[in-house]
Structure 1
Amino acid sequence: MDLNSYATHSPFSEPAGHAGLLADVPADTPSLHRAVTCTIGHYRAGPTPSARQLADIDTRWVDRICATALERSPGPLTTERADPDKVGGCCRDHTLLAVAILRQHGIPARSRVGFAAYLTPGFHHDHVVAERWSRQEQRWIRFDPEFGAEQQDVPMHDLPRGAGAPFQTAAQAWLAYRDGHTDLSTYGVMPGHAFLRGPAFVQRYLLSDLAHLMRTELLLWDVWGPGLDEPAGSGGGAPMGLPHPAQVHTESIGATDRLARLIVAADDGDRGAEEDLATLWATSPQVRPGARVRTVSPSGRIGVTDLRARRTEWAPAADPGLAVLP
């Protein structure tokens, strides 16, 4: 992926008529943190969300996030909003909005999908953080826009990398598992959850991180790729044929290993690995979502999302065969 492409909007970060709203937010990290937390309320980490905020969490596009925020409470993104007026979302939304603001300023930025060790002691929560390109230092600076510098006992504005880092990409976690360094039982949505953790969960998140690297910033609960009963993106409707979340897709372990190694190598500055990732994305329908993805929302809804039409067709709530993932 060309560096300059990260300085332009993806279909998900595109603000449409709200470009000025993004441009008004300074590009420094504390301002980004204020803007995203004043605009978006985490549906699990904050006050109990209202019904409309729970529906918000399936919004993918920055222009809709901005429109919803202004409808409920007009003013700049950095305006303090009452909790009920915030747009319901999660780490993915905090990060995408921060990335959109940086891109609006012409600064290369992207989101990364992985696991944070600083939210619950002894557990690695699924999490999305941002990276901004420093032209001065000629490196990607990884930061967590959801938290201020003083909110965690790690440097939120320049997260460390490497073994034992407080945030690990899904690729790092997968390779540590494959090398026998961890069993991944503490990697997932939350402690004590029977299914949404472990190797299969991390394997699926590898595809999400690749998609985000390729400027396709899907929801954490959008599903595609190996393990489905029908080809990714075919949008075949119910029953969804969703994979069991606790079962590793054994036929694709070799491909998962290769993908993880490429992502780690690209993060280490290997330009050849970057080119191989771009080629894999362009040529492999097994890793790239099609025009449609399955959306298995924590709100309790499951459906098929048409990414081009920007519309989700939700399955009947009474269908018992769909309640597989959160």
Structure 2
Amino acid sequence: MAQNLIAHYRFATTQLPESSNDDINARWLSTILDLDQQRHGTPLLSPRAEAERVQGCCRDQTLIAVGILRQHNIPARSRVGFADYLRPNSRVDHVVAECWLDDSWVRFDPGLAGPRGRVADPHDISISDDSPFLTAAAAWIGHRRHGRSIDDLGVSISPVEFTGAAFVLSYLIMDVAHRFGDELLLWDSWGAMPLPGTPIDFGLGDALAELVQLADQGDLDAENTLRKMYETDSRVHVGDEVLRFSPRGEPPVRVSLGRNQAHSDRAIRNY
């Protein structure tokens, strides 16, 4: 369903109409579903021509999958990081999903129809240290503790050039927000997310990455501490508005979030 509704704004195999370019800023699941129904008005599994789908990206496909799982009372969350299986010899910024099954988190990629690269089964992606999906926390720790290069991590598409520690910290904050149900756009910015050319709060990054890593390993104290930090620390928590950038190079704009709508999207609506 996620693949049927969303056409990737950058990697579609057909030319997408300019009239739907603003689809990529559909922040909430309800908005994505409304856009789809305005164009089709048919069940969500009825095939859509690629050019008639909602323009979006991996975040949107993951958001749909997470919404479906939550509707069926299966705990689910999205994870923000980097994948090495989408393009040869490249680590691409990416969003995947995790759901709670059989007393553990299972990681999967809603955008993959079958095996790709090091991913043999897109429904069960390894969460080991050598996972083909690198969380933002793992990338940060690998750089800070072990000196691993992260210069290739980020966005380098003219006119946008945003890579390295600043980008990884932004995605680390983004991953924490997504973890606790605020699945913002990948080009939203708030709190201590460093804009290009601004100072980087390395201490915050170290603290967040360690908590995320411990929480991912099942440390409930770390999970609770991370949640409290997200709820109370303005450097991490999403407020009433964000600065929305554009992957197409358009000027950034301040956007009010409308928090009631954000929380209403915890469950997918029935279409």
Same fold per TM (> 0.5)? yes
1:280-311 CA-partner distances (Å, limit 9, x unpaired): 01221111121000000224242111111799
**CA–CA separation in structure 1 for the residues paired with 2:22 and 2:160:** 25
Alpha-carbon separation, structure 2, partners of 1:215 and 1:62:
12
Flag structure 1 segments of 5+ consecutive residues without an equivalent.
Answer: 1-34, 229-242, 312-326
Alignment of 1:205-284 (within 5 A): 205-226=171-192, 243-244=195-196, 247=197, 249-250=199-200, 252-284=201-233
Q: Could you tell me which amino acid in structure 2 is paired with residue 111 of structure 1?
A: S
Q: Secondary structure at the match of 1:168?
A: strand
Instruction: Count the aligned residue pairs.
Output: 258
Match of 2:114 in 1: 149
Aligned 8 A contact 2:118 2:132 in 1? no
Q: Structure 2 stretches of 5 or more lacking a match?
A: 262-271
Give % identity.
40
d(CA) in 1 for partners of 2:109, 2:242: 27
Deviation >6 Å, runs of 4+: 191-194
Give the root-mean-square deviation of aligned CA atoms: 2.0
Distance 1:128 1:160 in 2: 15
Q: Which has the higher contact order (CA 8 A, sep 6+)?
A: 2
In our comparison, the structure showing a higher alpha carbon Rg is: 1
The equivalent position to 1:290 in structure 2, one of 239, 242, 245, is 239
Q: Pairwise mapping of residues 1-326 of structure 1 onto structure 2 (< 5 A)?
A: 35-46=1-12, 47-134=14-101, 137-154=102-119, 155-189=121-155, 195-226=161-192, 243-244=195-196, 247=197, 249-250=199-200, 252-299=201-248, 300-308=250-258
2:2 maps to amino acid: V
SS of match in other structure, 1:278:
helix
CA distance in 1, matches of 2:193, 2:70: 34
Contact 1:199 1:248 in 2 (8 A): no
Letter matched to residue 286 of structure 1: R
Amino acid at match of 1:36: A
Shift of 1:114: 0.4
Aligned partners of 2:75 and 2:100 also within 8 Å: yes
SS at match of 1:225: coil
- Which TM-score applies when normalising by structure 1? 0.75
In 2, the alpha carbon distance for the partners of 1:262 and 1:202 equals 16
Q: CA deviation at 1:220?
A: 0.3
Counterpart residue identity of residue 112, structure 1: R
What letter corresponds to residue 227 of structure 2 in structure 1? Answer: A
Give the 3 Å change call, closer, same or farther, for CA 171–77 of structure 1 in structure 2.
same
Deviations 1:129-176 (A, max 9, x none): 000110xx2100000000012344412111112222100110000000
Using the TM superposition, give the Cα deviation of residue 48 of structure 1 relative to its aligned residue in structure 2, in angstroms.
3.2
Is the Cα contact below 8 Å between 2:173 and 2:193 reproduced in 1? no
Q: Is 1:226–1:286's contact at 8 Å kept on the other side of the alignment?
A: yes
